Structure 1
Amino acid sequence: MPLKPERLRAITIDLDDTLWPIGPVIQRAEAALQAWLAEHAPAVALHFDRKGMLALRAQVERDLQHVAHDLTAWRKETLRRALQHAGCDAALAEPAFDVFFAERNRVEFYADALPALDRLAARWPLIALSNGNADPARIDNLAGRLSAWISAREVGVGKPDRRIFDAARVQARCEPQQVLHVGDDFALDVIGAHHAGMATAWVRRADGPVASAGVEPDWRGQDLLSLCEALRV
Protein backbone atom coordinates (compact mmCIF):
# COMPACT_ATOMS: atom_id res chain seq x y z
CA MET A 1 0.00 0.00 0.00
CA PRO A 2 1.55 3.37 -1.00
CA LEU A 3 2.01 6.07 1.61
CA LYS A 4 -0.59 8.82 1.65
CA PRO A 5 1.08 11.84 3.26
CA GLU A 6 -2.06 13.95 3.01
CA ARG A 7 -3.71 11.67 5.59
CA LEU A 8 -0.94 11.95 8.15
CA ARG A 9 -1.10 14.14 11.25
CA ALA A 10 1.97 12.82 13.10
CA ILE A 11 4.97 10.52 12.77
CA THR A 12 6.33 8.22 15.45
CA ILE A 13 9.90 7.04 15.05
CA ASP A 14 12.13 4.42 16.61
CA LEU A 15 15.59 5.42 17.88
CA ASP A 16 18.19 2.64 18.15
CA ASP A 17 19.28 1.28 14.76
CA THR A 18 16.87 3.67 13.05
CA LEU A 19 18.58 6.98 13.83
CA TRP A 20 21.95 5.59 14.92
CA PRO A 21 23.67 2.17 15.13
CA ILE A 22 23.27 0.89 18.68
CA GLY A 23 26.03 -1.74 18.70
CA PRO A 24 28.98 0.68 18.92
CA VAL A 25 27.14 2.77 21.51
CA ILE A 26 26.63 -0.16 23.89
CA GLN A 27 30.19 -1.40 23.39
CA ARG A 28 31.58 2.01 24.30
CA ALA A 29 29.22 2.39 27.26
CA GLU A 30 30.15 -1.03 28.64
CA ALA A 31 33.85 -0.27 28.23
CA ALA A 32 33.43 2.96 30.19
CA LEU A 33 31.52 1.07 32.87
CA GLN A 34 34.23 -1.58 33.18
CA ALA A 35 36.91 1.09 33.50
CA TRP A 36 34.93 2.76 36.28
CA LEU A 37 34.41 -0.52 38.11
CA ALA A 38 38.12 -1.36 37.82
CA GLU A 39 38.88 1.87 39.67
CA HIS A 40 36.04 2.00 42.19
CA ALA A 41 35.13 -1.68 42.71
CA PRO A 42 38.05 -3.78 41.41
CA ALA A 43 36.77 -6.92 43.12
CA VAL A 44 33.94 -7.06 40.60
CA ALA A 45 36.44 -7.65 37.79
CA LEU A 46 37.99 -10.49 39.77
CA HIS A 47 34.63 -12.23 40.12
CA PHE A 48 33.06 -11.42 36.73
CA ASP A 49 34.75 -11.35 33.34
CA ARG A 50 32.68 -10.25 30.35
CA LYS A 51 31.20 -13.72 29.92
CA GLY A 52 30.33 -13.89 33.61
CA MET A 53 28.67 -10.49 33.55
CA LEU A 54 26.58 -11.52 30.54
CA ALA A 55 25.50 -14.66 32.38
CA LEU A 56 24.52 -12.58 35.39
CA ARG A 57 22.57 -10.22 33.16
CA ALA A 58 20.73 -13.18 31.64
CA GLN A 59 19.79 -14.40 35.10
CA VAL A 60 18.49 -10.95 36.02
CA GLU A 61 16.37 -10.91 32.87
CA ARG A 62 14.86 -14.25 33.86
CA ASP A 63 14.22 -13.08 37.40
CA LEU A 64 12.74 -9.73 36.42
CA GLN A 65 10.50 -10.72 33.54
CA HIS A 66 7.76 -8.57 35.05
CA VAL A 67 9.81 -5.50 34.13
CA ALA A 68 11.01 -6.74 30.75
CA HIS A 69 10.14 -3.31 29.36
CA ASP A 70 12.62 -1.56 31.70
CA LEU A 71 16.20 -1.95 30.50
CA THR A 72 17.41 0.51 33.12
CA ALA A 73 16.04 -1.68 35.90
CA TRP A 74 17.80 -4.72 34.41
CA ARG A 75 21.12 -2.89 34.15
CA LYS A 76 20.98 -1.53 37.69
CA GLU A 77 20.00 -4.88 39.20
CA THR A 78 22.83 -6.62 37.34
CA LEU A 79 25.29 -4.12 38.75
CA ARG A 80 23.84 -4.40 42.23
CA ARG A 81 24.15 -8.20 42.23
CA ALA A 82 27.68 -8.11 40.83
CA LEU A 83 28.79 -5.64 43.48
CA GLN A 84 27.12 -7.57 46.25
CA HIS A 85 28.60 -10.88 45.11
CA ALA A 86 32.08 -9.32 45.00
CA GLY A 87 31.71 -7.97 48.54
CA CYS A 88 31.44 -4.34 47.42
CA ASP A 89 28.91 -1.70 48.40
CA ALA A 90 25.76 -2.37 46.36
CA ALA A 91 25.00 1.37 46.50
CA LEU A 92 27.77 1.82 43.92
CA ALA A 93 25.30 0.50 41.34
CA GLU A 94 23.83 3.98 40.97
CA PRO A 95 27.03 5.91 40.13
CA ALA A 96 28.21 2.96 38.04
CA PHE A 97 25.04 3.07 35.99
CA ASP A 98 25.40 6.84 35.60
CA VAL A 99 28.75 6.25 33.88
CA PHE A 100 27.19 3.70 31.55
CA PHE A 101 24.17 5.90 30.85
CA ALA A 102 26.23 8.97 29.96
CA GLU A 103 27.95 6.99 27.22
CA ARG A 104 24.73 5.27 26.19
CA ASN A 105 23.37 8.70 25.27
CA ARG A 106 26.43 9.69 23.23
CA VAL A 107 25.49 8.51 19.77
CA GLU A 108 26.66 8.96 16.20
CA PHE A 109 23.72 9.49 13.88
CA TYR A 110 23.45 7.86 10.51
CA ALA A 111 24.36 10.44 7.88
CA ASP A 112 20.77 10.70 6.65
CA ALA A 113 19.10 10.90 10.07
CA LEU A 114 19.30 14.55 11.12
CA PRO A 115 18.62 16.03 7.65
CA ALA A 116 15.62 13.74 7.34
CA LEU A 117 14.33 14.62 10.80
CA ASP A 118 14.48 18.29 9.87
CA ARG A 119 12.45 17.72 6.73
CA LEU A 120 9.88 15.56 8.49
CA ALA A 121 9.56 17.86 11.52
CA ALA A 122 8.89 20.82 9.26
CA ARG A 123 5.60 19.19 8.29
CA TRP A 124 4.55 16.83 11.10
CA PRO A 125 5.04 16.43 14.85
CA LEU A 126 7.70 13.78 15.48
CA ILE A 127 7.38 11.50 18.50
CA ALA A 128 10.19 9.15 19.48
CA LEU A 129 8.89 5.70 20.37
CA SER A 130 11.45 3.30 21.80
CA ASN A 131 11.84 0.08 23.75
CA GLY A 132 15.34 1.22 24.68
CA ASN A 133 16.38 3.49 27.50
CA ALA A 134 17.96 6.32 25.54
CA ASP A 135 17.11 9.76 26.88
CA PRO A 136 16.49 12.14 23.95
CA ALA A 137 16.89 15.12 26.29
CA ARG A 138 20.52 14.10 26.79
CA ILE A 139 21.36 13.35 23.17
CA ASP A 140 22.94 16.21 21.26
CA ASN A 141 20.89 17.47 18.30
CA LEU A 142 17.87 15.26 18.99
CA ALA A 143 15.44 16.70 21.53
CA GLY A 144 14.87 19.93 19.62
CA ARG A 145 13.74 17.98 16.59
CA LEU A 146 11.11 16.00 18.50
CA SER A 147 7.69 17.03 19.75
CA ALA A 148 7.71 14.32 22.43
CA TRP A 149 9.25 10.98 23.31
CA ILE A 150 7.70 7.87 24.77
CA SER A 151 9.57 4.87 26.13
CA ALA A 152 8.55 1.36 27.10
CA ARG A 153 9.79 2.12 30.60
CA GLU A 154 7.29 4.92 31.16
CA VAL A 155 4.34 3.20 29.47
CA GLY A 156 4.95 -0.14 31.18
CA VAL A 157 5.00 -2.18 27.98
CA GLY A 158 7.19 -2.25 24.91
CA LYS A 159 6.69 -2.69 21.21
CA PRO A 160 4.99 -4.61 19.63
CA ASP A 161 2.33 -4.20 22.36
CA ARG A 162 -0.42 -2.01 20.99
CA ARG A 163 -0.57 0.04 24.17
CA ILE A 164 2.72 1.81 23.55
CA PHE A 165 1.58 2.81 20.06
CA ASP A 166 -1.74 3.99 21.50
CA ALA A 167 0.14 6.13 24.03
CA ALA A 168 2.00 7.82 21.19
CA ARG A 169 -1.04 8.58 19.08
CA VAL A 170 -2.91 9.88 22.15
CA GLN A 171 0.08 12.16 22.77
CA ALA A 172 -0.26 13.33 19.16
CA ARG A 173 -4.05 13.68 19.48
CA CYS A 174 -4.56 11.59 16.37
CA GLU A 175 -6.47 8.57 15.24
CA PRO A 176 -4.30 5.53 14.46
CA GLN A 177 -4.76 5.84 10.71
CA GLN A 178 -3.39 9.40 10.89
CA VAL A 179 -0.02 8.25 12.24
CA LEU A 180 2.99 6.82 10.41
CA HIS A 181 5.38 4.75 12.47
CA VAL A 182 8.98 4.50 11.28
CA GLY A 183 11.43 1.86 12.48
CA ASP A 184 14.03 -0.75 11.62
CA ASP A 185 12.69 -3.82 13.43
CA PHE A 186 10.11 -5.69 11.36
CA ALA A 187 8.53 -7.57 14.27
CA LEU A 188 8.52 -4.74 16.79
CA ASP A 189 7.98 -1.73 14.54
CA VAL A 190 6.19 -2.86 11.40
CA ILE A 191 4.00 -5.63 12.78
CA GLY A 192 3.37 -3.79 16.05
CA ALA A 193 2.33 -0.53 14.41
CA HIS A 194 0.29 -2.34 11.76
CA HIS A 195 -1.78 -4.11 14.41
CA ALA A 196 -2.22 -0.78 16.17
CA GLY A 197 -3.85 0.59 13.00
CA MET A 198 -0.98 2.84 11.92
CA ALA A 199 0.75 3.24 8.59
CA THR A 200 4.24 1.76 8.63
CA ALA A 201 7.63 2.62 7.18
CA TRP A 202 10.36 0.02 7.42
CA VAL A 203 13.91 1.39 7.38
CA ARG A 204 15.88 -1.71 6.48
CA ARG A 205 19.48 -0.54 6.82
CA ALA A 206 20.92 -4.06 6.70
CA ASP A 207 19.73 -7.29 5.16
CA GLY A 208 18.53 -9.93 7.56
CA PRO A 209 15.82 -12.50 8.22
CA VAL A 210 12.25 -11.27 8.12
CA ALA A 211 9.19 -12.81 9.73
CA SER A 212 6.40 -11.19 7.77
CA ALA A 213 3.40 -12.70 9.59
CA GLY A 214 1.38 -11.72 6.53
CA VAL A 215 2.10 -8.02 7.08
CA GLU A 216 3.51 -5.69 4.43
CA PRO A 217 4.89 -2.26 5.34
CA ASP A 218 3.39 0.74 3.58
CA TRP A 219 6.94 1.77 2.67
CA ARG A 220 10.34 0.16 2.82
CA GLY A 221 13.76 1.58 2.09
CA GLN A 222 17.35 1.81 3.31
CA ASP A 223 17.45 5.34 4.68
CA LEU A 224 15.28 8.15 5.97
CA LEU A 225 15.97 10.57 3.14
CA SER A 226 14.34 8.06 0.77
CA LEU A 227 11.33 8.12 3.08
CA CYS A 228 11.24 11.92 2.83
CA GLU A 229 11.11 11.63 -0.94
CA ALA A 230 8.26 9.16 -0.70
CA LEU A 231 6.39 11.55 1.60
CA ARG A 232 7.13 14.50 -0.71
CA VAL A 233 8.90 16.60 1.92
Structure 2
Amino acid sequence: MTFETPALAAHNGLDLTRIAAISLDLDDTLWPIWPTIARAEEVLHGWLLREAPKTAELLLTPGVLRELREATERERSDLAHDLSALRRESIRAALSRVGEDPALADAAFDVFFDERQRVVLYDDALPALQWLSERYPLVAISNGNADLKRTGVDAWFRTAFSAHVFGSGKPHAPIFQAAAASVGVQPHQVLHVGDDAALDVVGALAVGMQAAWVVRHPEEEQKPWTHGARPQLVVPDLQALCRVLGAD
Protein backbone atom coordinates (compact mmCIF):
# COMPACT_ATOMS: atom_id res chain seq x y z
CA MET A 1 0.00 0.00 0.00
CA THR A 2 1.30 3.48 -0.86
CA PHE A 3 0.32 6.91 0.38
CA GLU A 4 0.25 9.25 -2.58
CA THR A 5 -0.47 12.69 -1.12
CA PRO A 6 2.62 14.35 0.39
CA ALA A 7 2.25 15.11 4.08
CA LEU A 8 4.84 16.98 6.08
CA ALA A 9 6.30 15.73 9.36
CA ALA A 10 8.62 17.38 11.83
CA HIS A 11 11.38 15.18 13.23
CA ASN A 12 13.02 15.66 16.58
CA GLY A 13 15.39 12.72 16.93
CA LEU A 14 13.03 9.84 16.14
CA ASP A 15 14.93 6.54 16.31
CA LEU A 16 13.28 4.11 13.92
CA THR A 17 15.51 1.24 15.07
CA ARG A 18 13.98 1.33 18.54
CA ILE A 19 10.39 0.84 17.40
CA ALA A 20 9.13 -2.69 18.04
CA ALA A 21 5.48 -1.81 18.75
CA ILE A 22 3.11 1.12 18.37
CA SER A 23 0.48 2.32 20.80
CA LEU A 24 -2.33 4.53 19.57
CA ASP A 25 -4.79 6.89 21.16
CA LEU A 26 -8.33 6.61 19.79
CA ASP A 27 -10.51 9.74 20.15
CA ASP A 28 -9.31 12.60 17.93
CA THR A 29 -6.51 10.38 16.64
CA LEU A 30 -8.53 7.81 14.67
CA TRP A 31 -11.82 9.73 14.56
CA PRO A 32 -13.13 13.16 15.61
CA ILE A 33 -14.75 12.78 19.01
CA TRP A 34 -16.91 15.88 19.43
CA PRO A 35 -19.23 15.30 16.46
CA THR A 36 -19.69 11.77 17.82
CA ILE A 37 -20.51 13.02 21.32
CA ALA A 38 -22.86 15.69 19.98
CA ARG A 39 -24.79 13.10 17.97
CA ALA A 40 -24.95 10.73 20.95
CA GLU A 41 -26.29 13.51 23.16
CA GLU A 42 -28.98 14.29 20.58
CA VAL A 43 -30.06 10.64 20.57
CA LEU A 44 -30.05 10.59 24.37
CA HIS A 45 -32.18 13.73 24.46
CA GLY A 46 -34.73 12.15 22.14
CA TRP A 47 -34.94 9.15 24.46
CA LEU A 48 -35.34 11.38 27.51
CA LEU A 49 -38.16 13.31 25.82
CA ARG A 50 -40.10 10.05 25.70
CA GLU A 51 -39.06 8.48 29.01
CA ALA A 52 -38.15 11.40 31.28
CA PRO A 53 -39.41 14.67 29.76
CA LYS A 54 -38.62 16.85 32.78
CA THR A 55 -35.01 15.74 32.66
CA ALA A 56 -34.89 16.37 28.92
CA GLU A 57 -36.11 19.92 29.54
CA LEU A 58 -33.59 20.47 32.34
CA LEU A 59 -30.66 19.39 30.18
CA LEU A 60 -31.60 21.95 27.53
CA THR A 61 -30.76 24.71 30.02
CA PRO A 62 -27.32 26.13 29.13
CA GLY A 63 -24.64 25.06 31.54
CA VAL A 64 -26.69 22.50 33.46
CA LEU A 65 -24.97 19.43 32.03
CA ARG A 66 -21.54 20.91 32.77
CA GLU A 67 -22.67 21.81 36.30
CA LEU A 68 -23.91 18.27 36.92
CA ARG A 69 -20.73 16.79 35.52
CA GLU A 70 -18.50 18.97 37.69
CA ALA A 71 -20.58 18.21 40.78
CA THR A 72 -20.34 14.50 40.07
CA GLU A 73 -16.56 14.76 39.65
CA ARG A 74 -16.28 16.51 43.02
CA GLU A 75 -18.51 14.06 44.83
CA ARG A 76 -17.13 10.93 43.15
CA SER A 77 -13.40 11.51 42.78
CA ASP A 78 -13.04 7.73 42.59
CA LEU A 79 -14.62 7.90 39.13
CA ALA A 80 -12.23 10.49 37.68
CA HIS A 81 -10.75 7.94 35.26
CA ASP A 82 -14.13 6.49 34.22
CA LEU A 83 -15.96 8.64 31.68
CA SER A 84 -18.80 6.12 31.40
CA ALA A 85 -19.49 6.18 35.12
CA LEU A 86 -19.28 9.98 35.24
CA ARG A 87 -21.77 10.29 32.39
CA ARG A 88 -24.14 7.77 33.98
CA GLU A 89 -24.03 9.46 37.39
CA SER A 90 -24.54 12.89 35.83
CA ILE A 91 -27.70 11.61 34.16
CA ARG A 92 -28.81 10.10 37.47
CA ALA A 93 -28.29 13.46 39.19
CA ALA A 94 -30.39 15.21 36.54
CA LEU A 95 -33.22 12.72 36.94
CA SER A 96 -33.13 13.16 40.71
CA ARG A 97 -33.12 16.95 40.50
CA VAL A 98 -36.45 17.06 38.69
CA GLY A 99 -38.07 14.21 40.64
CA GLU A 100 -37.95 11.54 37.93
CA ASP A 101 -36.83 7.97 38.53
CA PRO A 102 -33.03 7.88 38.96
CA ALA A 103 -33.08 4.19 38.03
CA LEU A 104 -33.63 5.31 34.43
CA ALA A 105 -30.00 6.46 34.35
CA ASP A 106 -28.73 3.03 33.34
CA ALA A 107 -31.03 2.70 30.34
CA ALA A 108 -30.40 6.33 29.37
CA PHE A 109 -26.66 5.83 29.46
CA ASP A 110 -26.96 2.70 27.31
CA VAL A 111 -28.73 4.79 24.65
CA PHE A 112 -25.94 7.35 24.74
CA PHE A 113 -23.20 4.73 24.79
CA ASP A 114 -24.57 2.81 21.81
CA GLU A 115 -24.57 5.94 19.67
CA ARG A 116 -21.16 6.99 20.97
CA GLN A 117 -19.68 3.88 19.35
CA ARG A 118 -20.83 4.93 15.87
CA VAL A 119 -17.64 6.76 15.00
CA VAL A 120 -16.63 8.08 11.58
CA LEU A 121 -12.94 7.47 11.02
CA TYR A 122 -10.65 10.07 9.50
CA ASP A 123 -9.95 9.21 5.88
CA ASP A 124 -6.34 8.33 6.64
CA ALA A 125 -7.08 6.11 9.65
CA LEU A 126 -8.14 2.82 8.09
CA PRO A 127 -5.35 2.52 5.48
CA ALA A 128 -2.84 3.55 8.14
CA LEU A 129 -4.11 0.96 10.61
CA GLN A 130 -3.84 -1.72 7.96
CA TRP A 131 -0.30 -0.70 7.01
CA LEU A 132 0.91 -0.32 10.58
CA SER A 133 -0.64 -3.56 11.82
CA GLU A 134 1.19 -5.50 9.10
CA ARG A 135 4.51 -4.25 10.48
CA TYR A 136 4.05 -3.71 14.21
CA PRO A 137 1.88 -5.01 17.03
CA LEU A 138 -0.63 -2.25 17.76
CA VAL A 139 -2.02 -1.42 21.20
CA ALA A 140 -4.84 1.03 21.92
CA ILE A 141 -4.49 3.33 24.93
CA SER A 142 -7.47 5.56 25.64
CA ASN A 143 -8.91 7.65 28.45
CA GLY A 144 -12.23 7.50 26.64
CA ASN A 145 -14.87 4.79 26.56
CA ALA A 146 -14.79 3.70 22.93
CA ASP A 147 -15.16 -0.04 22.41
CA LEU A 148 -12.75 -1.35 19.77
CA LYS A 149 -15.11 -4.00 18.47
CA ARG A 150 -18.16 -1.77 18.32
CA THR A 151 -16.24 1.02 16.61
CA GLY A 152 -15.01 -1.49 14.02
CA VAL A 153 -11.25 -1.21 14.51
CA ASP A 154 -10.55 -4.22 16.72
CA ALA A 155 -9.08 -6.29 13.87
CA TRP A 156 -5.98 -4.08 13.76
CA PHE A 157 -5.07 -4.19 17.45
CA ARG A 158 -3.38 -6.90 19.50
CA THR A 159 -4.56 -5.48 22.82
CA ALA A 160 -6.36 -2.43 24.20
CA PHE A 161 -6.24 -0.45 27.43
CA SER A 162 -8.95 1.99 28.50
CA ALA A 163 -8.75 4.05 31.67
CA HIS A 164 -12.17 3.02 32.96
CA VAL A 165 -11.28 -0.68 32.78
CA PHE A 166 -7.61 -0.41 33.72
CA GLY A 167 -8.27 1.80 36.74
CA SER A 168 -6.09 4.76 35.77
CA GLY A 169 -5.34 6.58 32.57
CA LYS A 170 -2.93 8.78 30.70
CA PRO A 171 -0.62 10.54 31.47
CA HIS A 172 0.10 8.21 34.40
CA ALA A 173 2.80 5.62 33.84
CA PRO A 174 1.00 2.32 34.64
CA ILE A 175 -1.28 2.27 31.60
CA PHE A 176 1.64 2.93 29.22
CA GLN A 177 3.80 0.32 30.92
CA ALA A 178 1.01 -2.26 30.82
CA ALA A 179 0.45 -1.58 27.12
CA ALA A 180 4.10 -2.25 26.33
CA ALA A 181 4.16 -5.41 28.44
CA SER A 182 1.02 -6.72 26.73
CA VAL A 183 2.92 -7.13 23.46
CA GLY A 184 6.13 -8.32 25.05
CA VAL A 185 8.29 -5.21 24.70
CA GLN A 186 9.84 -2.58 26.97
CA PRO A 187 8.44 0.96 26.98
CA HIS A 188 11.52 2.34 25.21
CA GLN A 189 10.67 0.07 22.26
CA VAL A 190 7.22 1.64 21.79
CA LEU A 191 6.23 4.63 19.67
CA HIS A 192 3.08 6.16 21.14
CA VAL A 193 0.84 8.08 18.75
CA GLY A 194 -1.78 10.54 19.93
CA ASP A 195 -3.29 13.99 19.59
CA ASP A 196 -3.11 15.27 23.18
CA ALA A 197 0.16 16.96 24.11
CA ALA A 198 -0.32 16.62 27.86
CA LEU A 199 -1.85 13.16 28.01
CA ASP A 200 -0.22 11.38 25.07
CA VAL A 201 3.12 13.07 24.52
CA VAL A 202 4.07 13.89 28.10
CA GLY A 203 2.80 10.57 29.43
CA ALA A 204 4.63 8.49 26.83
CA LEU A 205 7.92 10.35 27.13
CA ALA A 206 7.85 10.03 30.91
CA VAL A 207 8.01 6.23 30.70
CA GLY A 208 10.71 6.20 28.04
CA MET A 209 8.54 5.74 24.96
CA GLN A 210 9.04 7.78 21.84
CA ALA A 211 6.07 9.95 20.94
CA ALA A 212 4.42 11.03 17.71
CA TRP A 213 2.10 14.00 18.18
CA VAL A 214 -0.78 14.07 15.69
CA VAL A 215 -1.73 17.69 15.01
CA ARG A 216 -4.70 17.68 12.66
CA HIS A 217 -5.41 21.38 13.28
CA PRO A 218 -2.33 23.50 12.42
CA GLU A 219 -3.23 26.21 14.94
CA GLU A 220 -2.49 23.75 17.75
CA GLU A 221 1.11 23.45 16.67
CA GLN A 222 1.48 27.24 16.64
CA LYS A 223 0.71 27.53 20.36
CA PRO A 224 3.69 27.85 22.73
CA TRP A 225 4.96 24.44 23.87
CA THR A 226 4.69 24.36 27.67
CA HIS A 227 5.19 20.67 28.37
CA GLY A 228 8.95 20.30 28.70
CA ALA A 229 10.33 17.45 26.59
CA ARG A 230 9.11 17.51 23.01
CA PRO A 231 7.81 14.61 20.90
CA GLN A 232 10.24 12.92 18.53
CA LEU A 233 7.76 13.36 15.69
CA VAL A 234 4.97 15.77 14.80
CA VAL A 235 2.62 14.73 11.99
CA PRO A 236 -0.56 16.21 10.50
CA ASP A 237 -2.20 12.80 10.11
CA LEU A 238 -1.57 9.06 10.18
CA GLN A 239 -0.65 9.02 6.50
CA ALA A 240 2.37 11.16 7.33
CA LEU A 241 3.27 8.80 10.16
CA CYS A 242 3.31 5.85 7.76
CA ARG A 243 5.46 7.76 5.30
CA VAL A 244 8.02 8.44 8.02
CA LEU A 245 8.02 4.79 9.08
CA GLY A 246 8.67 3.65 5.53
CA ALA A 247 5.43 3.60 3.55
CA ASP A 248 7.19 5.00 0.50
Q: Structure 2-normalised TM-score? A: 0.89
Q: Following TM superposition, by how much is the alpha carbon of 1:50 offset from its aligned partner in structure 2, in angstroms?
A: 4.1
| 2:199 match | 188
Give me the CA root mean square deviation.
1.3
Contact 1:202–1:221 under 8 Å retained in 2: yes
Q: Following TM superposition, by how much is the alpha carbon of 1:46 offset from its aligned partner in structure 2, in angstroms?
A: 3.5
| 1:162 match | 173
| 2:113 match | 101
Residue aligned with 2:26, SS: coil
Unaligned runs of 5+ in 1: none
Instruction: Say whether 1:56 aligns with 2:68.
Output: yes
Task: Choose from 218, 227, 232 the match for 2:241.
Answer: 227
Contact 1:187–1:211 under 8 Å retained in 2: no
Contact 1:3–1:230 under 8 Å retained in 2: no
Alignment length (residue pairs)? 232
Task: Choose from 135, 144, 153 the match for 2:155.
Answer: 144
One-letter code aligned to 2:199: L
Give the alignment of 1:1-233 within 5 angstroms: 1-51=12-62, 52-140=64-152, 142-206=153-217, 207-208=219-220, 209-233=223-247
One-letter code aligned to 2:174: R
Q: Following TM superposition, by how much is the alpha carbon of 1:60 offset from its aligned partner in structure 2, in angstroms?
A: 0.8
Q: Matches of 2:61 and 2:187 in 1, distance apart?
A: 43
One-letter code aligned to 2:203: G
Deviation by residue 1:92-125 (Cα, 9 ceiling, x = unmatched): 1111111101111111111111111111000011
Q: Following TM superposition, by how much is the alpha carbon of 1:210 offset from its aligned partner in structure 2, in angstroms?
A: 4.8
One-letter code aligned to 1:156: G
Deviation by residue 1:105-153 (Cα, 9 ceiling, x = unmatched): 111111111111111000011111000111111112x011111110011
Q: Following TM superposition, by how much is the alpha carbon of 1:25 offset from its aligned partner in structure 2, in angstroms?
A: 0.4
Q: Matches of 1:77 and 1:67 in 2, distance apart?
A: 10
Structure 1 residues 109 and 48: alpha-carbon distance in aligned structure 2, compared to 1, 3 A threshold:
closer
Unaligned runs of 5+ in 2: 1-11
Residue aligned with 1:216, SS: coil
Q: Matches of 2:50 and 2:124 in 1, distance apart?
A: 39
Structure 1 residues 74 and 210: alpha-carbon distance in aligned structure 2, compared to 1, 3 A threshold:
farther
Contact 1:13–1:183 under 8 Å retained in 2: yes
Residue aligned with 1:231, SS: helix
One-letter code aligned to 1:133: N
Contact 2:197–2:227 under 8 Å retained in 1: no
Residue aligned with 1:220, SS: strand
Q: Matches of 1:204 and 1:210 in 2, distance apart?
A: 14
Structure 1 residues 10 and 60: alpha-carbon distance in aligned structure 2, compared to 1, 3 A threshold:
same
Q: Matches of 1:145 and 1:19 in 2, distance apart?
A: 12
Q: Matches of 1:112 and 1:180 in 2, distance apart?
A: 18
